[in-house]
Structure 1
Amino acid sequence: MLPLLLGEPQRNQHDFLYWESHEDGGRQAARLGHWKGIKEKIISNPDAPIELYDLDSNPKESKNLASTYPDIVDEIKIVMKTEHLENKTFPFNKN
């Protein structure tokens, strides 16, 4: 990703981008092409629903399309599950 941020061509293409943070109750997010999935407040609600946005047609993320595209939500759910690494210092799970 660094080359892209520096305005250079990226050498490798990636299937997705995944990130998470603990601010505001914790969130996970993944980007697959023009789709962005996000889970909010996951520290208190690990089973929070995934919101889905089409960033090409809705860059402000104002229209949640999760119920319209459940297959994309399922793909994002797999990314979130497989890419998350639990950390004892910064746990998402209260247990």
Structure 2
Amino acid sequence: MRRAFNRDLSSYRKQFGSAEQTAQAERRGVWAFDRAPATPVPTPTTGADRDCSDFETRAEAQQFFETHDPANDPHRLDADGNGQACELLPY
């Protein structure tokens, strides 16, 4: 048997409002966090941005990729995220 919660909560409105104002003033609960979005931290890169067209071979691109923060791929050399840089370049 299902029971529906059918209770009139309007009598608690004043208490809830007071508790909400207190929480906001004391920065508790959901009001403990800043509402402004976090500023993204720039990923450091070495030198200018590099693209696949800057390399002659996939091996050259892969070597650069592996030594320049491959986990974050700041140069976007690994388009599909499989750990292989510039897959359309010749070996």
Q: Normalising TM by the smaller chain, what interval?
A: under 0.3
TM, length-normalised to structure 2: 0.23
TM, length-normalised to structure 1: 0.22
Higher RCO (Cα < 8 Å, 6 or more apart): 2
Return the structure number with greater helix share. Answer: 2
Return the structure number with greater strand share. Answer: 1
Larger radius of gyration: 2
